[in-house]
C-alpha cells in the first residue's frame, strides 16, 4: 500500500462504504456486493499509485487538490456530454443562465470535436448584430487560444461590463482564413416570449428558451393575442432553435394547451428519479388549432412541449426533426461551492416515445426556414446523437456516432424593428411560417365547409 493510500485511507473507506451501499441496494445480493467493492478497490489502488508516482516524480511540484479535481472532471466527462464537474466559478455561471439578464456578447455555444462552436447568436444581441453565425468555430477570445479552454471559461471571458469590447476570432465555412469580430458587450435580456398578429384571426407565438418566467410570459402573450379585434382562429407556436431550459416551465407551457393526460414521463435507474407529469383542466380554454414549428435546433424542454402536443393531437408539427436531447440532469451542490451535474434519467412522450438521440419528427416536413435567395448547398445541423459519448435512446443501447456540420440558424431580428416589420419579414422570407399559416387558414376553410 502506498503512502498516499495510507494517508487517505479514511476517505477511500468512505467511498467504498458508499459504493457498497449502492451495490447492495441495486443488486440485493451479497455476492454482487463483494464483486463490486473488490473491483472498485482495485481501481482505486491503481488511481492512488498513479497519483503517488506523479506527486513524487513529476518535473515540478504538483497540487494534489488540482490533480484530484482534474480526475473527477475526467471521470464525469467520460459518462456523457451533459454530465460534468462544475468548479465554483462554473457553478455560478450555470446559475446565471436561468436568471433575468447579464452583460456579454449574446451567443449560445457548445463543444464540438473539442472546438468551441456557436449553436446560435441570441436574437438582437451584439454578437447577432456583429455577424456571428451558427456553426462558427471560436478559435480565440481576445487573442487567447481556446484549444484547451473549458466551455464555462470561454463563456466567462466573453461576458463583461456593458460597453467594453471583446475580440472573437472565428473560422467559418466559406472563409479562406479566420476572421476577427470586435464586439461591444451589452446587457443581454433573457426574454423568452414574443408574439405578433400575422393577419386578423391568426397569431404567432415564439418561445426562444424556457426560463424563470416563461410560463407567465406565455399567458400574457396569449391574452394579448386573444384580445385582438378579430377572434383568434389559429396559432403558430414557434419553438425553432429553442435549446430548452427549465423543465417545470416546459411542463406548465404544455399544460396551457392540454386539459388531461400525461405531458412527459421521466424514467431513471432509481425509482426516486422517475416521475410522470400530467395536465390539469384549465379554466381558460384555448380551443383554436395550433401549428407548432420545430427544427434541428429545438432541444430538451422544447421537445417535451412538441412531443406532448403532438401525441395528444393538440398541434400539428411542422419543420424538421428536432435535436434529440431527451435526458435529465440533476445539479448537486458540493461542500466547497462546486457542483456536480449528472444525467439521471430519460424523457418519454405521452405515448412512450423516446426523445434521446432520436428527436421529435414533424407531421409535415418543411426543411428550409427562410426562402433561399440563391441556390446554396444544403448544410446540416448538429444533433444530440452527434455528440461524443451521448447516452443512447434506451438503457444499454450501443451509441451511433454521426458527424454533421451545423446549419446556419437565422432568427427574426426584433430589436430596432416595428412589429409590422417583423410580421412582414416572417410572411415574406420565412417559408415555414408561411406554410404554417396556409395550413391554419385551410383548416378553417375546410372546417366551415364540413360544417
Query: Which residues belong to the active site?
Result: 300, 311, 325
HSE-CB at 395 with a 13 A cutoff on CA atoms is: 8
| E strand or H helix that includes residue 327 | strand 327-333
The region, left, alpha or beta by phi > 0 then psi within -120 to 50, assigned to residue 359 is left
Q: Shortest CA distance to 297 belongs to which of 108, 157, 139?
A: 108
**Which residue has 419543420 as its cell numbers?**
319
Q: What is the DSSP string of 197-232?
A: EEETTEEEEEE--B-TTHHHHHHHHHHHHHTSSSPP
- Burial (0-12, 13-18, 19+ Cβ within 10 Å), 20: middle
- Three cell numbers, residue 14: 468512505
CA angle, 119 then 423 then 418, to 5°: 90
Output the CA torsion 210→436→255→355 (10° steps): -70
- State the DSSP string of 352-382: --B-TTT----SEE---SB--SS--------
Q: Which of 99, 93, 82, 114 is nearest to 156 (CA)?
A: 93
Q: 335 in helix, strand or coil?
A: coil
DSSP state of 430: B
Q: With beta carbons less than 8 A apart as the criterion, state whether 358 and 284 touch.
A: no
Burial class (CB in 10 A: 0-12, 13-18, 19+), 92: middle
Task: Return the biggest CA–CA distance within the chain.
Answer: 85
C-alpha to C-alpha distance for 210 and 279, rounded to whole angstroms = 18
Cell of 280: 390539469
CB neighbours of residue 320 within 10 Å: 22
What is d(CA 131, CA 121) in angstroms, rounded to the nearest whole number? 9
- CA angle in degrees (0–180, nearest 5) for 255-259-262: 65
Amino acid at each position: 500500500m502506498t503512502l498516499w493510500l495510507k494517508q487517505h485511507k479514511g476517505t477511500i473507506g468512505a467511498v467504498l462504504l458508499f459504493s457498497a451501499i449502492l451495490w447492495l441496494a441495486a443488486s440485493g445480493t451479497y455476492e454482487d456486493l463483494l464483486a463490486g467493492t473488490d473491483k472498485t478497490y482495485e481501481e482505486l489502488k491503481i488511481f492512488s499509485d498513479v497519483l503517488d508516482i506523479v506527486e513524487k516524480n513529476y518535473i515540478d511540484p504538483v497540487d494534489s487538490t488540482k490533480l484530484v479535481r482534474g480526475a473527477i472532471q475526467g471521470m464525469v466527462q467520460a459518462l456523457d456530454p451533459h454530465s460534468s464537474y462544475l468548479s465554483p466559478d462554473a457553478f455560478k455561471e450555470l446559475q446565471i443562465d436561468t436568471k433575468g439578464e447579464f452583460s456579454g456578447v449574446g451567443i449560445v455555444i457548445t463543444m464540438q470535436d473539442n472546438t468551441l462552436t456557436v449553436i446560435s447568436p441570441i436574437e438582437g444581441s451584439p454578437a447577432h448584430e456583429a455577424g456571428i453565425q451558427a456553426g462558427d468555430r471560436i478559435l480565440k477570445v481576445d487573442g487567447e487560444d481556446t484549444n484547451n479552454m473549458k466551455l464555462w471559461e470561454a463563456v466567462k471571458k466573453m461576458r463583461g461590463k456593458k460597453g467594453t469590447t471583446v475580440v472573437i476570432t472565428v473560422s467559418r465555412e466559406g472563409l479562406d482564413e479566420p476572421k476577427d469580430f470586435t464586439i461591444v458587450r451589452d446587457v443581454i435580456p433573457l426574454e423568452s416570449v414574443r408574439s405578433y398578429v400575422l393577419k386578423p384571426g391568426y397569431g404567432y407565438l415564439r418561445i426562444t428558451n424556457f426560463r424563470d418566467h416563461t410560463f407567465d410570459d406565455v399567458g400574457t402573450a396569449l391574452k394579448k393575442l386573444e384580445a385582438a379585434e378579430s377572434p383568434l382562429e389559429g396559432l403558430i407556436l414557434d419553438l425553432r432553435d429553442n435549446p430548452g431550459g427549465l423543465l417545470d416551465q416546459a411542463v406548465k407551457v404544455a399544460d396551457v394547451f392540454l386539459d388531461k393526460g400525461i405531458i412527459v414521463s421521466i424514467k431513471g435507474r432509481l425509482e426516486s428519479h422517475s416521475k410522470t407529469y400530467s395536465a390539469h383542466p384549465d379554466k381558460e380554454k384555448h380551443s383554436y388549432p395550433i401549428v407548432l414549428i420545430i427544427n434541428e435546433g429545438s432541444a430538451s424542454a422544447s421537445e417535451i412541449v412538441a412531443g406532448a402536443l403532438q401525441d395528444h393531437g393538440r398541434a400539428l408539427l411542422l419543420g424538421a426533426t428536432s435535436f434529440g436531447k431527451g435526458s435529465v440532469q440533476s445539479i448537486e451542490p458540493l461542500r466547497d461551492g462546486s457542483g456536480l451535474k449528472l444525467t439521471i434519467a430519460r424523457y418519454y412522450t405521452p405515448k412512450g416515445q423516446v426523445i434521446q438521440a432520436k428527436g421529435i419528427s414533424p407531421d409535415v416536413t418543411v426543411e428550409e426556414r427562410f426562402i433561399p435567395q440563391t441556390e446554396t448547398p444544403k448544410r446540416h445541423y448538429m444533433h444530440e446523437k452527434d455528440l461524443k459519448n451521448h447516452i443512447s435512446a434506451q438503457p444499454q443501447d450501443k451509441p451511433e456516432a454521426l458527424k454533421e456540420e451545423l446549419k446556419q440558424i437565422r432568427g427574426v431580428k426584433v430589436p430596432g424593428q416595428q412589429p409590422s416589420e417583423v410580421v412582414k419579414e416572417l410572411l415574406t422570407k420565412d417559408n415555414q411560417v408561411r406554410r404554417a399559416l396556409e395550413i391554419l387558414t385551410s383548416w378553417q376553410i375546410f372546417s366551415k365547409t364540413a360544417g
